[in-house]
Amino acid sequence: MFDNIAVVGATGAVGSIIRELLEEWDFPFRTIKFLASARSAGKQLIFKGQQYTVEELRPEAFDGVQLAIASTPDEVARDFIPEAVRRGCIVIDESGYWRMDPKVPLIIPEVNPEAIRKHQGIISSPNCSTTQMVQALKPLHDAGRVRRVVVSTYQATSGAGVAGSRDLENGTRALLAGQEYQQELFPHRIAFNLIPQIGSPKYKGYTSEEMKMVYETRKILDDETIQVCATCVRVPVMNCHSESIVVETERKISVEEARALFAATPGLVVVDDLEKKLYPMPITADRKHETFIGRIREDISSPNGLAFWCVSDNLRKGAATNAVQIAQLLLRQ
């Protein structure tokens, strides 16, 4: 048991789910504090039937804290997490800032739990789009070694924060009413539209979100030879990311073997019966902690290829759930 823990970014969308899971899963601790920006400091929260006052995120707020689960922008994680570690706190970080630091393990508990032993005070949780894909790749990699991945993502507006979801909701209402709507966050209308750019331009025409999937996949699976080609698209769906994934393996894996591997893997749920129109959809995964796999089929263009469809709740397994699972893993360690 940890004596003192903290939730950083406690009033945000992910922080709120972290609070919910710590309570629902009865995570053991003696005291807890909730930290957020100066804008949210002073707000009142109810947790396990008690009222708590949100404290402002300052370095001294980590004094005496053993474990913090943090969901903040990158620049906040850059500035405050080292301060927490200097005060003896272990930080599970949801931001992207520390993920590719060689001294920081990047953890999906069902995939690479052993890597947590290498931490030096900071443990990173992967990008949401990477998490669900690597969960699905892991059993295939263990069975036949993944050589190449082509992935197209269909990412919900909740992945861009509350403002992104407001753009979808308010923009849809305005469009249906024949009114104008000024986008709050997205560079283009998201209602009844797709935006084939998530993140900033990075490398040879790929965006930052796409390159995260390249680099994070290799780090989590500990294999720099895996080739990943990603296209990330924002879609007019409120919650849950979907992905179309094509995998080439060193050893051929049949559809039947892949289905059995997926079904036997903790955290994965197979929903796959095309005749009965059964396959994962965003409404399947909403508010669920698992990642759902369907449309499993042979890639008829490649002798060692498999194609499948993958859906997960980006705010839960893609963020809050994974972070709390890392905390549980720390306890077991």
DSSP summary character for residue 50? E
Is there a catalytic annotation at residue 128? yes
Q: DSSP for 122-162?
A: EEE---HHHHHHHHHHHHHHHHH-EEEEEEEEEE-GGGG-H
* Amino acid found at 276: K
Which of 89, 119, 128, 232 is flagged as catalytic? 128
74 in Cβ contact with 45 (< 8 Å): no
Number of neighbours of residue 281 by Cβ within 10 angstroms: 16
Is there a catalytic annotation at residue 188? no
Query: How buried is 276 (Cβ within 10 angstroms: 0-12 exposed, 13-18 middle, 19+ buried)?
Result: exposed
CA distance 188 to 301: 35
Which of 119, 141, 232, 241 is flagged as catalytic? 241
* C-alpha pair distances (Å), 274 with each of 20, 245, 308: 35, 17, 12
CA distance 171 to 330: 43
CA distance 199 to 207: 6
Catalytic residues: 128, 241
